[in-house]
Chains A and B, each alone.
Chain A
Amino acid sequence: MKQLFTRKNLPILATAAVLVLLFGTFSALFDNFLTLRVIVNLFTNNAHVGVVAMGMTFVILSGGIDLSVGSVLGFTTIFVATLIGKYEMHPALAISLALIAGSIFGAGMGALIQVYQLPPFLVTLTGMFLARGMAFVVSAQSFEIKHGFYNTVVDAGISLTDKVTLRAPACIFAVVFVIALVLAHFSRFGRSVYAVGGNAPSALLMGLPVGRTRIWIYTLSGFCAALGGIVFTFQTQSGNATNGLGLELDAIAAVVIGGTLLSGGVGYVAGTLMGVLIYGTILTGISFYGKLDSSWQRIAIGGLLLVFIIIQRLLTRAPVRESSH
Chain B
Amino acid sequence: MNSAPSTFVSRFLQSRIVWPLAGLALLLLFNFVFDRSFFELSTRDGNLYGPMVSVIRLSVKVMLLATGMTLVIATGGVDLSVGSVMAVVGALVAFLAEKYHVGFPGLLAVALGASLVVGVFNGALVSYVGIQPIVATLIVMVLGRGVALNITGGMPVPIEDTGVLYLGRGFIAGVPVQIPLLLTVFAIAALACRKTAIGLFVEAVGDNETASRLSGVNARGIKLLVYLFSASCAALAALVSIGDVGRVEPDRLGQMLELDAITAVVVGGTVLTGGRFTLLGSIIGALLIQTLTTTLTRQGMPSDVSPVPKALVILIVCLLQSQKLRSQLVRLFTSSKTHAS
A contact residues vs B (CB 8 Å cutoff): 65, 112, 115-119, 121-123, 125-130, 132-134, 136-137, 140, 241, 249, 252-253, 256, 262-263, 293-303, 305-306, 309-310, 313, 317, 324-325
Contact A137 B305 (CB under 8 A): yes
In whole Å, how far is A8's beta carbon from the nearest beta carbon of chain B? 19
Identify which of B135, B154, B310 gathers the most chain A CB atoms within 10 Å of its CB: B135
Question: Which chain B positions have C-beta within 8 A of A256?
Answer: 135
CB pair B318–A116 under 8 Å, yes or no, is: yes
CB distance from A197 to the nearest CB of B (A): 14
List the B side residues contacting A297 at CB < 8 Å: 146
| A129–B305 CA distance with the chains assembled, in angstroms | 9
A122 engages B272 (CB within 8 Å)? yes
Known: A119-B273, A140-B304. A309 touches B311 (CB 8 A): no
In the bound assembly, the distance between CA atoms of A112 and B324 in angstroms comes to 12
Q: A118-B318, A122-B318, A313-B130 are known contacts. Are A303 and B143 too (CB-CB below 8 A)?
A: yes
CB–CB A295/B311 < 8 A: no
The closest CB in chain B to the CB of A252 belongs to: B138
Interface size class of B (residues with CB under 8 A): 35 or more
**Shortest 9 CB-CB distances between A and B: which pairs?**
A298-B146, A302-B143, A133-B308, A295-B149, A129-B311, A299-B146, A136-B304, A133-B307, A129-B307
Q: Would you call B308 and A130 a contact (CB within 8 A)?
A: yes
Q: Which residues of B contact A117 (CB under 8 A)?
A: 322-324
With an 8 A cutoff between CB atoms, is B56 at the interface? no
A325 to B272, CA, bound (A): 12
Secondary structure type dominating chain B contacts: helix
Q: Which of A118, A127, A249, A303 contacts B311 (CB 8 A)?
A: A127
Q: How far is the CB of A18 from chain B (nearest CB, A)?
A: 16
Which of B144, B146, B149, B314 has the largest number of chain A CB atoms within 10 A?
Answer: B146
Residue of A nearest to B136 (CB): A309
Complex-state Cα separation, A115 to B131, whole angstroms: 29
Whether B187 sits at the interface, judged by CB under 8 Å, is no
Name which residue of chain B comes closest to A65, CB basis. Answer: B134
Contacts of A137 in B (CB 8 A): 305, 308
Q: Are A125 and B143 in contact (CB under 8 A)?
A: no
Bound together, the chains give a CA A115 to CA B318 distance in angstroms of 12
- Contacting residue for B318 out of A126, A293, A295, A300, CB 8 A: A126
Residue pair A299, B139 in contact (C-beta under 8 Å): no
Q: Which residues of the partner chain A approach B302 to less than 8 Å between Cβ atoms?
A: 136, 140
B74 vs chain A, min Cβ distance (A): 15
Report the separation of the CA atoms of residues A306 and B144 in the bound assembly, to the nearest whole angstrom: 12
Please list 25 pairs of residues, one from A and one from B, whose beta carbons are closer than 8 Å in the complex, sorted by A's number.
Answer: A121-B78, A121-B272, A125-B262, A125-B314, A126-B314, A126-B318, A127-B311, A133-B304, A133-B305, A133-B307, A133-B309, A136-B305, A140-B304, A262-B132, A263-B132, A295-B147, A295-B154, A299-B147, A300-B146, A302-B142, A302-B144, A306-B139, A309-B135, A313-B129, A324-B210
- Distance from B61 Cβ to chain A, minimum over Cβ atoms (Å): 18
Interface string of B294-332 (1 = CB under 8 A from A): 000000001011111111101100110011110000000
